[in-house]
Homo-oligomer: A and B are copies of this chain.
Amino acid sequence: MSDINDTENNNQQIKLAVDCIIFGFNDNKLELLLIKRKDNPEKGRWSLIGGIVSFNEDLDEAANRILFDLSGLENIYMEQVKTFGKVNRCSFDRIVSTTYSAMILKSRYSEDKINRYNAQWFPVTEIPELIFDHNDMVDIAIKRLRRRVRNFPIAFNLLPSKFTLPQLQALYEGILNETLDKRNFRRKVSQMNYLVRLEEKDMSESKRGAFLYRFDAGLFEKEKNFSL
């Protein structure tokens, strides 16, 4: 949660919040977008991106609105993770918070938004101490991501629409925090007909150049086989 503006309104009503766990990928590492609170309470401390759910919006909509407010991105694949409801998880109010996770292309998250929202990317291995139970939220979301990324083609959200296989493998190694065998990895990829090789090569990371691929959602719908 966050957006804690009405501490005075202690009317014995539970408030409902959403917290967004926003993953990015950079420098071969899985990263997380956090914000440093500009105001009291908890001013100056690191926090997830969150806000109170409005009376007239779906829970999912609230998550999307908050993500949009903070990143400017729309149509991002988001999934609900878990709801945190301990009485004292937030010291000054009774707020139950549902977490959602999203994966965004870090390069699309403009620098001015970073500044406006006092945001910063952190490698998941270097998450600072966060307010309330946000560190727990992060831990659970990361575990869930590692599980899901093996069985669903969601990691592509962290890459440009055209990507190379070395990039894809580095992405998986970064998310799972383990090294993968190149040949085994590529054999699996080659069975995914919805990963289509383009004629272009990306020359930026090697002299030889690596073929670019794209994820074809339409083709994926036909097979729906994914396992890495």
Contacts and interface: CB of A to CB of B under 8 A. Distances in A.
A26 interface: no
A210 interface: no
Contact of A53 (B56, B58, B82, B96): B96
Interface stretch (A12-20, A31-39, A161-169, A178-186): A12-20
Copies of this polypeptide in the complex: 2
Interface in A52-79: 53, 55-60, 62
A28 to B, nearest CB: 30
Given A56-B87, A58-B87, A60-B85, 12 more contacts: A13-B55, A14-B16, A14-B53, A16-B16, A16-B85, A16-B96, A53-B85, A53-B96, A58-B85, A59-B86, A62-B85, A83-B98
Interface of A: 12-16, 53, 55-60, 62, 80, 82-87, 94, 96, 98
19 contacts: A12-B55, A13-B13, A13-B55, A14-B55, A16-B16, A53-B85, A53-B96, A55-B94, A56-B87, A58-B85, A58-B87, A59-B84, A59-B85, A59-B86, A60-B85, A60-B86, A80-B82, A80-B83, A85-B98
